[in-house]
């Protein structure tokens, strides 16, 4: 079984979940709070996870399973209340990016005072992050890569979607067991898989001289692009599931370089609470438009992306992504997701100030974002 060690230790393979009891002991966690959502809970994965623990340890696990689709500041405080009421001493995040991100926020506020907003890295908040509770991240989707990332996103009560980023937010241990993704429905497999692919692509295109991250991103793209259609067509394809989970982890390792305009736009559209848009779906829908915008000046990187995707020299990458989206049953444009032209003026400022905008390979301003949103409709 592979132990990946790129920032944090990641146990990666079928059966990796059996490392949980030992992992908790090593981290000194005796009374964990398990953060998850209703879907994961209903699927039986919580029971499977508890079954890996010795009988006397199972009773010490407190559970919060109300993680919303996009984790909110209120949900963080609900989970934190359970953490404190049960005198917990660590967090297990089990689920998609939402549960793991929410778990990260709880691990922070377990050790540092509220409010959460003061830890905004853009406002110098990282110097206030003195300690976090130990956390084990266990993804059940292959997409966000939160298990290998220093970041997490929370929808704040004041309406902002805030990105927190600090090396301390890397889980103390991550367990990537592709077994846990075998029952993921095709639609979610497709959307989260395109999230992973977007991370790989934007990571590779971000500037900065971190060549190892380029290599990891290209490898993740190579795996993701070949295997996502297989995983969507047959969720029980164990090799395709392994490859997709690896592509997701590699996506996060690649975006240590930063992300780009796809994520700026996707985060902005994610603000529209009434639409409840899925982050991976948004990325998939927006990706072709931004790929068309970014090519000038990144020709060499685009040639490498094509190679990883098995495309011919000079092939239209944006068109290839559109074809992939269609094949995977992903909606065709933002309009089909419920975004309207009248919302664009409100979305643009969010995209401009988004952390990801700083690492887009081509400078992108408010005017550009307006045009890009219109093109992506």
Binding stretches for its own copies (CB under 8 A): 1-2, 4-7, 12-13, 208-212, 214-220, 222-223, 246, 249-250, 253, 256, 304, 307
By beta-carbon proximity to its own copies, the closer residue of 253 and 348 is: 253
Neighbouring C-beta atoms of residue 297, cutoff 10 Å? 12
Closest separation in Å from C-beta 266 to its own copies: 24
Taking a C-beta distance cutoff of 8 angstroms, is the pair 137, 175 a contact?
Answer: yes
| 14 contacts 238 by C-beta, under 8 angstroms | yes
CB atoms within 10 A of CB 370: 15
Three-state SS sequence of 190-231: HHHHHHHHHHHHHHHHCCCCCHHHHHHHHHHHHHHHHHHHHH
CA–CA separation, 94 vs 36, rounded Å? 5
Using the minimum distance from each CB to its own copies, give the nearer residue, 32 or 145: 145
For residues 173 and 138, the answer to whether their CB atoms sit within 8 Å is no
Residue with smaller CB distance to its own copies, 171 or 288? 171
CB-CB contact of 77 with 108 (8 Å): no
Task: Output the smallest distance, CB 139 to its own copies, in A.
Answer: 16
Where do we find the tokens 């969720």?
235
173, containing H or E segment: strand 173-176
Please state the closest distance from residue 1 (CB atom) to its own copies, in A: 7
Residue 144 Cβ, how far from its own copies at the closest point, in Å? 17
Nearer to its own copies, 9 or 288 (CB): 9
Q: Are strands 135-139 and 90-95 parallel, antiparallel or unpaired?
A: parallel
> Least Å distance between CB 308 and its own copies?
9
Name which of 208, 355, 353 is nearest 369 in CA terms. Answer: 353
Shortest separation between residue 286's beta carbon and its own copies, angstroms:
25
Closest distance between its own copies and the C-beta of residue 207, in Å? 10
Least distance CB 31 / its own copies (angstroms): 30
Nearer to its own copies, 13 or 202 (CB): 13
Closest to its own copies by CB, 72 or 181: 181
Q: CA distances (Å), 192 to each of 27, 46, 198, in order?
A: 30, 21, 10
130-153 b/e (C-beta count within 10 Å ≥ 16 → b): eebbbbbbbbbbbbbbbbbbbbbb
| Residue with smaller CB distance to its own copies, 52 or 307 | 307
| CA nearest to 291, candidates 309, 276, 271 | 309
Q: Which residue has the tokens 């068109």?
A: 319
Half-sphere exposure of 376 (CA within 13 A, CB side): 31
Pairwise CA distance, residues 65 & 219, whole Å: 34
Q: How far is the CB of 209 from its own copies (least distance, A)?
A: 4
Overall residue count recorded for the chain in this entry: 377
- By beta-carbon proximity to its own copies, the closer residue of 213 and 348 is 213
Return the number of the residue (124 or 212) whose C-beta is nearest its own copies. Answer: 212
Phi, psi of 162, deg, nearest 5: -105, 135
CB 224, min distance to its own copies, A: 11
Shorter beta-carbon distance to its own copies: residue 218 or 348 = 218
């Amino acid at each position: 079984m592979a132990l990946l060690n790129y920032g944090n230790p990641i146990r990666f393979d079928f059966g990796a979940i059996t490392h949980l009891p030992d992992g908790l002991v090593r981290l000194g966690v005796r009374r964990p709070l398990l953060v998850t959502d209703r879907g994961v809970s209903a699927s039986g994965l919580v029971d499977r996870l508890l079954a890996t623990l010795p009988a006397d340890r199972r009773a010490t696990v407190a559970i919060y399973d109300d993680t919303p689709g996009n984790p909110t500041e209120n949900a963080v405080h609900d989970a934190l209340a359970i953490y404190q009421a049960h005198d917990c001493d660590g967090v297990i995040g089990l689920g998609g990016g939402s549960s793991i991100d929410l778990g990260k926020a709880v691990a922070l506020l377990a050790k540092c005072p509220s409010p959460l907003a003061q830890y905004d890295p853009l406002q110098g908040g990282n110097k206030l992050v003195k300690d976090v509770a130990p956390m084990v991240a266990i993804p059940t989707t292959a997409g966000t890569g939160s298990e290998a990332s220093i970041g997490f996103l929370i929808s704040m009560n004041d309406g902002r979607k805030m990105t927190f980023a600090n090396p301390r937010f890397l889980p103390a241990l991550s367990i990537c067991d592709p077994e846990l993704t075998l029952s993921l429905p095709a639609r979610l497999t497709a959307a989260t898989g395109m999230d992973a692919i977007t991370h790989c692509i934007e990571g590779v295109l971000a500037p900065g001289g971190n060549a190892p991250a380029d290599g990891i991103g290209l490898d993740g793209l190579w795996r993701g692009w070949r295997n996502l259609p297989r995983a969507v067509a047959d969720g029980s394809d164990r090799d395709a599931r392994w490859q997709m989970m690896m592509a997701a982890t590699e996506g996060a390792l690649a975006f240590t370089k930063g992300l780009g305009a796809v994520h700026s736009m996707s985060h902005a559209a994610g603000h529209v609470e009434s639409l409840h848009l899925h982050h991976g779906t948004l990325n998939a829908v927006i990706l072709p438009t931004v790929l068309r915008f970014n090519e000038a000046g990144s020709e060499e990187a685009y040639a490498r992306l094509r190679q990883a995707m098995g495309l011919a020299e000079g092939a239209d990458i944006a068109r290839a992504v559109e074809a992939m989206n269609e094949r995977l049953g992903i909606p065709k444009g933002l309009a089909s997701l419920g975004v309207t032209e009248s919302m664009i003026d409100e979305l643009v400022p969010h995209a401009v100030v988004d952390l990801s905008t700083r690492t887009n390979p081509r400078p992108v301003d408010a005017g550009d974002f307006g045009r890009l949103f219109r093109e992506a409709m």
